[in-house]
Amino acid sequence: MPITIKSDSEIEKMRLAGKVVAKTLEYLKNNITAGVTTKYLNQITDEFIKSQNAIPSFKNYNGYPASVCISINEEVIHGIPSKRKLVDGDVVSVDIGAILNGYHGDAARTFIVGKTSIENQKLVDVTQKSFFEGIKLAKAGNHLFDISAAIQDFVEANGFSVVKDYVGHGIGTQMHEAPEIPNYRQNRRGPKLEKGMTLAIEPMVNLGTDEIILLDDGWTVITADKKCAAHYENTILITDGQPEILTATDF
């Protein structure tokens, strides 16, 4: 499948979808506190996205039963909201998608409930920083896998591991479009980046081993050693200069 180049009008639609996702993340951040259930967080996410005249991308996507993925501690991605209550020290990754005017926005953040260990805090910080290290190379004329190598190099230099079984992706009228975007070094440079490409870059980083396990629910992915994981994602636009983050938030 070819990588789609978005027109100016398509890019504007993606900006609007990205803003919905960013606003939803900011809203959700203020509700991630000890004592709330992940089911409640899913409910308010669903309601907020719809209040923006958008559609939750994830709900019923390939059968996924919720509007937000909420992954706690050793859960890497795709955690299903439930009656589980958050407690102090939890490392909580939230992944949100929204469709507006036929175009998708997609982003993820990892939050900490109350206080956690220095190690877990560093994990969350490094995961976020690895995204920004990667997108330093996300400009027209560079190659896709330059981003991948930069993410892995930064993560491993800080003593953590990148998940290799799941990757980032192109995004537009479909949530998952070409190309796949690994968070680790490849033996080739990959396609050349062009102005107008829209990409979801999403480092998934583990405190310990990079090995993961898919649980019996068919969705939730956990670390094999049960140590914590973190996730950070934005939808970006390739330009002639620095990339534009379409799902930028204030945190």
Whether the pLDDT of residue 127 is over 60: the answer is yes
Asked if residue 114 is part of any domain, the answer here is yes
Give me the CATH number covering residue 159.
3.90.230.10
Asked if residue 129 is part of any domain, the answer here is yes
The pLDDT, as a whole number, for residue 204 is 99
The pLDDT, as a whole number, for residue 251 is 41
pLDDT tens-digit series, residues 154-185: 999 999 999 999 999 999 999 999 999 999 99
The pLDDT, as a whole number, for residue 1 is 80
Answer for the pair 86, 92: CB distance below 8 angstroms, yes or no. yes
Asked if residue 3 is part of any domain, the answer here is no
* Bridge partners of residue 218, in order along the sequence: none
Number of domains in the chain: 1
The pLDDT, as a whole number, for residue 161 is 98
Asked if residue 1 is part of any domain, the answer here is no
| C-alpha span between 24 and 107 (Å, rounded) | 10
Q: What percent of the chain has pLDDT over 90?
A: 98
| C-alpha span between 211 and 207 (Å, rounded) | 11
Cut 0.85: pTM above it: yes
| C-alpha span between 168 and 189 (Å, rounded) | 16
Query: Tokens 């440079």 — which residue?
Result: 189
Asked if residue 250 is part of any domain, the answer here is no
The average pLDDT across 211-234 equals: 98
The pLDDT, as a whole number, for residue 250 is 65
Q: Given strand 161-162, what is the order of strands in its sheet?
A: 161-162, 204-206, 229-231
The pLDDT, as a whole number, for residue 17 is 98
Q: What percent of the chain has pLDDT over 70?
A: 99
- Residue 171's domain comprises 8-245
The overall average pLDDT reported for the chain is: 97
pLDDT tens-digit series, residues 14-46: 999 999 999 999 999 999 999 999 999 999 999
Whether the pLDDT of residue 6 is over 80: the answer is yes
pLDDT tens-digit series, residues 68-124: 999 999 999 999 999 999 999 999 999 999 999 999 999 999 999 999 999 999 999
Share of the chain residues as helix, strand and coil, in percent rounded to the nearest 5: 30, 25, 45
